[in-house]
Structure 1
């Protein structure tokens, strides 16, 4: 079940990476690279920090799902773009899932709650940051004006806290993921923004 949820999150993130490739007028190879990086980058960075073999290199599905997303966007990107609001909702779900799962894995490998929280955020937003760098964009993480990293930080913090008190498994993961998901959705609908430095206008 957890692998299916992982693959669903990877698929949604890969769609956003491939769509970035379309907007940047990249060919199918460039689209595929952005899809793979967006979907797998955060998890690979997390596993390398934990000094374990990245799960993306243990299961063929983790590589093939972004390829499938690339093919879909390559042939039907106008249709995919039209359902972008729904994709953003799924992206928020993937954000919540990945920050919770990443934090729990870090805790299992003996990291402190603070470090596990940071690694959970890395799992959730790392792929998008690498995508933006490769596409020549300022990473969203550096100007979190739409509250993307903040929900991941909150969800990761809650997951680390629950794990510290011995609460593991899918109930804890679901609670932390739903918290991050709910905050991200609320931020999108209510147009919440992170504050700028004093004296700087919008």
Structure 2
């Protein structure tokens, strides 16, 4: 699949980091089952902002952008502090957090898939990298908070939304659509599918244990 070389600009990475830090801090501040101090809220915000990028760059064997860029930690940390200040908004409803989470997933998925394609990674590999970038921050957040992984929950379609968005970008890029436009479509697909899954409670069938039939006498 011929892909025109494309370099993700720094401001897109910083936008994703900022929204990730904001969403992570709002998520942590809104938890009622955990007692988290100010430093903990900021740390969770940073985890969401940095997790996907770190995992993506490790998989791609690239220098982690969150370390080499001076602005990445500054933007993510500042957004986390802002999220902590806006915590009362999280108490009024979960839709703000869900919407931000979906947008952040879409952004990091688009960045991950487009970076993989620009490095010559195959279609399947680019899809995996896109999904890893999309859900990596949420995974790190869940680990730090001792929560089950969000993408394993019944009813969230977490990884499905990430895969659908990244797959759309890869398909459009293969058809010759400019990567920035394909990236916007990726974010839209991921966001809409994720929010719709929560709103309409779309689920995959839950796994049931295979019941052994009682032996006949």
**TM-score of the two chains, using structure 2 as the length reference:** 0.81
Map of 1:175 onto structure 2: 185
Q: 2:67 aligns with which of 57, 80, 86?
A: 57
- Report SS of the residue matched to 2:115: helix
Contact 2:155 2:201 in 1 (8 A): no
Q: State the alpha-carbon separation in 2 of the partners of residues 193 and 73 from structure 1.
A: 30
Q: State the alpha-carbon separation in 2 of the partners of residues 57 and 131 from structure 1.
A: 19
- Report SS of the residue matched to 1:18: helix
Contact 2:112 2:130 in 1 (8 A): yes
Q: State the alpha-carbon separation in 1 of the partners of residues 58 and 159 from structure 2.
A: 21
Q: State the alpha-carbon separation in 1 of the partners of residues 40 and 70 from structure 2.
A: 20
Q: 1:191 aligns with which of 187, 197, 201?
A: 201
Q: 1:121 aligns with which of 112, 115, 131?
A: 131
Q: State the alpha-carbon separation in 2 of the partners of residues 10 and 144 from structure 1.
A: 27
Map of 1:18 onto structure 2: 25
1:29 has 2:36 as partner: no
Q: How far does the alpha carbon of each residue in 1:3-54 deviate from its partner, in whole angstroms, 9 at most, with x for none?
A: 4443333233223322444322122222222111111111111111111111
**TM-score of the two chains, using structure 1 as the length reference:** 0.86
- Report SS of the residue matched to 2:80: helix
Q: By how many angstroms is 1:176 displaced?
A: 2.2
Q: State the alpha-carbon separation in 2 of the partners of residues 81 and 8 from structure 1.
A: 24
Q: 1:7 aligns with which of 11, 14, 28?
A: 14
Q: By how many angstroms is 1:74 displaced?
A: 3.5
Map of 1:86 onto structure 2: 96
Q: By how many angstroms is 1:144 displaced?
A: 4.7
Contact 1:12 1:87 in 2 (8 A): no
Q: How far does the alpha carbon of each residue in 1:100-140 deviate from its partner, in whole angstroms, 9 at most, with x for none?
A: 22111111112111111011000010110011011111111
